[in-house]
Structure 1
C-alpha cells in the first residue's frame, strides 16, 4: 500500500514557549505544570490529569500546550546524539528550549511522535548545520511524512508503542543489573564491614602507575591505520573497557613508547575530559599503549584485585569523599596521578575480593546478554518502523 505524503506543517501547529514569569503564581505555586529539557527523557510521557484552563498564561512568555501534544527539545546545545521526543497527557507550559507539535484533526499524536523520532538522524543533521541555538523550525515544517487514514495511524501507533515498551523494559533490566553490582559491593565491602581491615594508598598497592606520552612524544600526525593500538578516554568512559575510536602507531614508534604499554588486568582511570571513569583491561588485549588522558595502574595481585579496585573507585563512599564527589556518577572536579596515588582504600582479604570477582562475572554475563537483546530489539524496532511508514505493516 502506498501512503500519501504531506508536509508536517500542514497537519500540526508548531508552538514555542518561554520560562514563565515568577510574578504569575499559577506557574510556580499553582497547578500549571511546565516542562524544560531536564524534565524530558526520550519518549517520556507525562501523567494524565484533568483539563486545565487558566487565564494566567495571558501576558506570559509561555503558552499553555494542550493535552496530547508532542514535545520536542529544540535547543541545539542539548541535541548531541539523541532527539528527545515525548507526548504530554495533560496541558503543560513549556520553556524556550522546547517546541510543541499540536496535531490537527488529520493526525494522530502518537503516530506523528513516532514519525518525528524516526526522523532523528536528519533532524540532528539540521541542528548541527545551524549556528548558536537556532533550531531549524522551517525545515521541520517542510518535513514530508507519510499520512495514512486516521484509523490506520492509530493501528500503527499501537503496534509501535507495544514494541517500544519492550525495548524500554530491556533497558530497565540493564539499569537494575548495574545497580545490583553496586549493591553487592556495598554489602561485601561497605563501611561497616571494612572497619577491621587494614588500609593502604593506591600508590602502596600498585606495582606501576603511569600516564601516556605528553606533547611532542606522540603527535596526532603519527597515528596510522594499522599497528599498535593507542587507548584513550573512549575506551574507559562507560566504566568498562570498550573498543572506541581506532588509533594506532607503527611498531617503530611503539618501541620508543613501550614504557607506556597497557597490560591485561591493568586499571585505567580517565584524568582528562570526563574525569574518574575507569575500566579493567581485558585478558585478550593486544599490544597497546595509553594516552596522557588515562592513568594506567598495574596492581600487586597479592594485595588488590583489579576488579575490586575498579568497583572501589566507583562505589566506595570513603574514596568518593576523598575525591570530593557526593554520589556515584557525579562529575569529579579534577584528577591526576598524584591524587590517585594518595587515595586510601580498605584491603579486604584476597579471598573475599576473589569471591566478589566471581559474582561480578555472573552479573556481567547477564548484562552483556541483556545488551545484546536490547540491540536486537532496537534493530527489530527500526525495521518495524520502516515497514509501518512504507505501508508494509
Structure 2
C-alpha cells in the first residue's frame, strides 16, 4: 500500500458533525455515557432510552454506527475508542467524545475503527494531547490530520473482517477469564455463606492478625517518605497500583535506598500479607505473593499480617471482597460510600465469620485449581494479543 493510497481523515469523514435532524423532545434516543464504552472490544452498550428533551443540552450527539473516540485522559490512553451500536437512530453521550462519521463511499467504518485502535495511533494521540494535568485532551486537529491508507472498499471490508474475527477470539478468551472470576466467587459463597456457617464464631480482622503491635499498619506518612526520595533501584515501595485489580501486580516501580529503608523497616511487607487500599481507589484488596522482594507499603495501603493458624490470607482476601457480612459492614460504616470512607480502624473492626482452618485450606486448594486454568487462559490471551497486533500492523501496511 503506497502513499498514493492514503487520505487525510478529514477528507473522507466528518469529524464532530452537527446534528442534522433534531429529534422531537418526546422522541426516544440512546444515552451512552463514557462508562458504556468497552475498551476491550471497541463496542458500546446500546444505550439507555431517554426522551430527547431531557438530554438536548450539554451533551454530544452522534448517530448509530458512528465512531466514538474518548478525548480526555485517561480514557483515551485506556483505549476507549468504539463504534456506536444503538437502539435508536440518534445517540447522546459525554462531551468528552470526538465523533467520526466516515463517508461510506470511501471509508468502511469497521476498517477505520481498527485503524484508530492501533497502538501507534493511540500513542501519537497521547503525545498530541493539550491542557493541564488531569484535563488533557486529544485535539480534533490530530484526528483530522491523520493519514489513513485507503484501498478500495472491498479490500477495506476484507481487512476489517479478518481483524474482527481475530478480535472475537480475544473477546472469547477475556470472557472465559471473567467466568473464572465468577467461579471463584461462587466457590467461596457456596463454602462460606451458607446456613451451616451460623455455627462459626464471629471475630474481627484485628483478632485474626498476628500478636504484635505492627500486625496491622499503614505506610509512612508526611515527611517520613517524600516522592523526591524515590530512586531507580533498591527496596521496592508498594502502592495503590499494585492492588487496584484485586490481585497483586507490579505497576509503576518505585524504590528507596538501603539507608532510607533502615529508617522505615517497620513498614516491611511479608509474603502472605493482605493489602487493602484506603486512599484514592479505596476498598481494593490483594495478597502479597511468596516471591516478593524486600518492600514497604505506602500510606495509601493498610497492610495486615495474619495469624496463619487462624486465618489464611486467601480466605480473608475473598471474604473482604465477597462475603455479604463484609460488604454490608463496609457499606454501613462508610455511610454508603466505601470509596470515601475506609481507614485502618474500620478495617480492624471488620467482623469476620471464621470457618475452621481445615475448610479454609480446602478453599485454597480449589482456588489453586482455578488459578492454574486462569493462568493457562492468560497465556493464551497474551499470545492472541500478540497475533492481533501483528495482523493489525500488517493490515495497514498492505501485507495482509
1:306 to partner: Cα distance: 0.7
Verify the 8 A CA contact 2:248 2:289 in the aligned structure 1.
yes
2:15 is equivalent to residue 10 of structure 1: no
Residues 146 and 287 of structure 1, relative CA distance in 2, 3 Å threshold: same
1:387 to partner: Cα distance: 0.4
Matches within 5 A, 1:177-256: 177-207=180-210, 208-256=215-263
Verify the 8 A CA contact 1:81 1:124 in the aligned structure 2.
no
In structure 2, C-alpha distance between the alignment counterparts of 1:71 and 1:221, rounded to whole Å: 39
1:341 to partner: Cα distance: 0.7
Residues 34 and 312 of structure 1, relative CA distance in 2, 3 Å threshold: closer
Residues 93 and 251 of structure 1, relative CA distance in 2, 3 Å threshold: closer
* Secondary structure of residue in 2 paired with 1:213: coil
2:168 counterpart residue number: 165
2:49 counterpart residue number: none
* Structure 2 residues without counterparts, runs of 5 or longer: 47-51
Cα shift readout 1:210-254 (whole Å, capped 9, x = no counterpart): 111222222223222222222111111111111222222222222
* Secondary structure of residue in 2 paired with 1:356: helix
* Secondary structure of residue in 1 paired with 2:341: coil
Residues 204 and 68 of structure 1, relative CA distance in 2, 3 Å threshold: closer
Cα shift readout 1:138-170 (whole Å, capped 9, x = no counterpart): 221111101111111111011011001111111
* Secondary structure of residue in 1 paired with 2:68: strand
1:368 to partner: Cα distance: 2.1
Equivalenced residues, count: 375
* Structure 1 residues without counterparts, runs of 5 or longer: 48-55
In structure 2, C-alpha distance between the alignment counterparts of 1:156 and 1:177, rounded to whole Å: 32
Cα shift readout 1:324-347 (whole Å, capped 9, x = no counterpart): 179xxx853321111111111011
Verify the 8 A CA contact 1:209 1:297 in the aligned structure 2.
yes
* Secondary structure of residue in 2 paired with 1:200: strand
In structure 1, C-alpha distance between the alignment counterparts of 2:347 and 2:168, rounded to whole Å: 42
**Of residues 274, 291, 296 in structure 2, which corresponds to 1:284?**
291
Verify the 8 A CA contact 2:330 2:338 in the aligned structure 1.
no
* Secondary structure of residue in 2 paired with 1:25: coil
In structure 1, C-alpha distance between the alignment counterparts of 2:184 and 2:100, rounded to whole Å: 41
1:293 to partner: Cα distance: 1.4
In structure 2, C-alpha distance between the alignment counterparts of 1:321 and 1:361, rounded to whole Å: 28
Moved over 4 A (4+): 20-23, 60-67, 75-78, 131-135
2:313 is equivalent to residue 306 of structure 1: yes
* Secondary structure of residue in 1 paired with 2:310: coil
* Secondary structure of residue in 2 paired with 1:345: strand
2:127 counterpart residue number: 125
Report the TM-score when normalising by structure 2: 0.85
1:53 counterpart residue number: none
Indicate the larger mover: 95-104 or 191-200: 95-104
2:27 counterpart residue number: 26
2:120 is equivalent to residue 113 of structure 1: no
1:129 to partner: Cα distance: 2.1
Verify the 8 A CA contact 1:130 1:136 in the aligned structure 2.
no
Verify the 8 A CA contact 1:70 1:88 in the aligned structure 2.
no
In structure 2, C-alpha distance between the alignment counterparts of 1:389 and 1:240, rounded to whole Å: 36
